[in-house]
Amino acid sequence: MPAFTACDPFTLNRRQWSQWAAATALGGLTGTALAQDSRYPSKAIRMVIPFTPGGSADILGRAIGHELTTAWGQSVVPENVAGAGGSIGADRVAKASADGYTLLMGHVGTLAVTPTLYPKLPYDPIKSFTPLAWVARVPNVLVVHPSLPVNDLASFISYAKANPGAVNFSSGGNGSAAHMTMAYLSLQAGLKMQHVPYKGTAPAVNDLVAGQVQALFTGIPAVLAQIRAGQIKAIAVSSPQRIPALPNVPTVAEAGLPGFEADQWYGVVGPANMPADVVARINQQINASLRSPAILERLQSEGAQPMPSTPKVFADLIVKDLARWRKVIIDSKMTL
């Protein structure tokens, strides 16, 4: 991948972006166009999941790792490295050897949010990684504790406005997707709520179930079981359309905020400058796994939408959302 002179990923000029996109596109070539290294993988692969166990990143990372292990006959070992909005795990991968044996389950928070929230990150979301495969789009769902006297988005907004600062919402950490999605909702609806960050999604969910906080706006896979068990109430989903896993839960847009969309996404990246043939092999196998009936059923049952595509499509998504969430952070005056 070419070296760039720009220090800020938001300031890449047209020539620099074209170079990066062209280099990334090499990973989308098929096996007939590239003489792939048949030796890869010849040993175990480490899949770094930059969050605690139990969240959407962990669920998806382990599912993809299992599929790759089955297909290649080499173990894909998940490793949870949590902290600083996922940046600790991401930095570990950024500094790893670019041989394809250390991968990252990338996430919208780690790759498109934290670069604005943490201006001194030890990695660059564009220059430090090789985009490999977009895995899934995961809608967020707004859930509340049953003790909160609301049953839909309109009553939630009304209650929060009538009780400014009284609603505590949890998240998997400062700058996490749950934090950003609720900040986006607050910005659009004019709400003032208290953010309670946790060290991961699982404890944020656990304390919501226990009634220590009142609300959470997070990925569906992390809370679907609790919704179905009646431990928490689902109010609205962040996607443009309703989700098959929660067919009776309206979207935020149809519930009163037209144009609202704030889905999470997940994808696999590796260190910068990975060999094009290894990029293509990983991309093809992940795409094949995402099209298999078993993984398709598993992801959809969790409320996740598989997104098989080329490395360039995934690279475009990262750049687009870097700009999008930067604007939300600036407009909401969010600081850590």
Q: Residue 220 falls within a domain, yes or no?
A: yes
Dihedral, 214, 220, 222, 227 alpha carbons, nearest 10: 60
Q: 108: domain range?
A: 9-138+264-331
User: Rounded distance, CA 307 to CA 268, Å?
Assistant: 12
Same domain, 19 and 77: yes
CATH number (domain holding residue 34): 3.40.190.150
* Co-location of 103 and 53 in the same domain: yes
- Same domain (yes/no): 93, 157: no
DSSP string covering 10-57, please? GG--HHHHHHHHHHHHGGG--TTTS---TT-S-S-EEEEE-S-TTSHH
Q: Is residue 250 part of a domain?
A: no
The strands making up 168-171's β-sheet, listed across from edge to edge, are 194-197, 168-171, 215-219, 140-144, 233-237
- Report the C-alpha gap between 299 and 308 in whole angstroms: 13
Question: Are residues 287 and 309 in contact, defined by beta-carbon separation less than 8 angstroms?
Answer: yes
Q: pLDDT tens digits, the chain, 336 residues: what are they?
A: 333 233 343 344 444 444 444 444 444 443 333 344 568 999 999 999 998 888 778 888 999 999 999 999 999 999 999 888 789 999 999 999 999 999 999 999 899 998 888 888 999 999 999 999 999 998 999 999 999 999 999 999 999 999 999 999 999 888 788 999 999 999 999 999 999 999 888 999 999 999 999 999 999 988 999 999 999 999 999 999 998 889 999 999 999 999 998 998 999 999 999 999 999 999 999 999 999 888 888 888 777 889 999 999 999 999 999 998 998 899 888 876
Same domain, 134 and 281: yes
For residue 259, tell me if it sits in a domain.
Answer: no
Residue 251 forms part of a structural domain: no
* Domain match, 93 and 29 both: yes
pLDDT given for residue 299 in this prediction = 83
pTM above 0.85, yes or no: no
* Judgement on whether residues 111 and 205 belong to the same structural domain of the protein: no
Are 153 and 130 in the same domain? no
Residue with token string 């919704």: 227
Tell me the three state secondary structure of residue 229: coil
Q: Is 34 found in the same domain as 66?
A: yes
Structural domain includes residue 275: yes
Q: What angle do CA 57, 167, 302 make, to 5 degrees?
A: 25
What is the C-alpha to C-alpha distance for residues 80 and 263, in angstroms, rounded to an integer?
Answer: 23
Radius of gyration of the chain (CA): 20
**Shared domain check, 146 and 134:** no
Is there a contact between 28 and 280 (Cβ–Cβ < 8 Å)? yes
Tally the domains of the chain: 2
Burial of 214 (0-12, 13-18, 19+ CB in 10 A): buried
2 lies in some domain? no
Residue 36 shares a structural domain with residue 63:
yes
Instruction: Please check whether residue 244 lies inside any domain of the structure.
Output: no
From 219, 237, 255, the end of a domain falls on 237
Sequence-distant (≥ 6) Cβ neighbours of residue 94 within 8 angstroms? 122, 123, 128, 129, 271, 272
Question: Distance (Å, rounded) from C-alpha 155 to C-alpha 166?
Answer: 15
Indicate if 122 and 21 belong to the same structural domain: yes
Query: Beta strand 168-171 with 194-197: parallel, antiparallel or unpaired?
Result: parallel
CATH code: domain of residue 199: 3.40.190.10
Q: Is 81 a member of any domain?
A: yes
DSSP reduced 3-state for 70: helix
- Identify whether residues 268 and 130 lie together within a single domain: yes
